[in-house]
């Protein structure tokens, strides 16, 4: 199985929407792949729609902004197009 970085890098410019989350543990690899694509001119940031999700440990009001900043840092992006609340319905995971 190819890693996330390779998948992101080889599928562009076909992909226009990136869906990720802290829980998926792929934000750093996606960020690395996106930066390579931006630097090589394959795609521009404004041509992508990037979604991430706020994990349950960041649901308290004072943790929302730090959770967002952490995701942005891992993705190496200045903004997200959509930031959702990730809600775990499985008690064994949460």
Q: Mind telling me the catalytic residues?
A: 24
Both tokens of 92, joined, read 């064994």
The phi and psi torsions of 54 (rounded to 5 degrees) equal -80, 115
Element at 30 (helix H, strand E): helix 27-40
């Amino acid at each position: 199985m190819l890693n996330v970085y390779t998948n992101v890098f080889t599928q562009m410019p076909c992909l226009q929407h990136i869906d990720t989350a802290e829980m998926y543990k792929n934000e750093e690899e996606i960020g690395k792949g996106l930066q390579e694509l931006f630097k090589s001119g394959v795609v521009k940031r404004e041509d992508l729609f990037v979604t991430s999700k706020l994990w349950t440990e960041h649901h308290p009001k004072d943790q929302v902004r730090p959770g967002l900043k952490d995701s942005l840092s891992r993705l190496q992006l200045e903004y997200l197009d959509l930031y959702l609340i990730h809600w775990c319905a499985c008690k064994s995971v949460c």
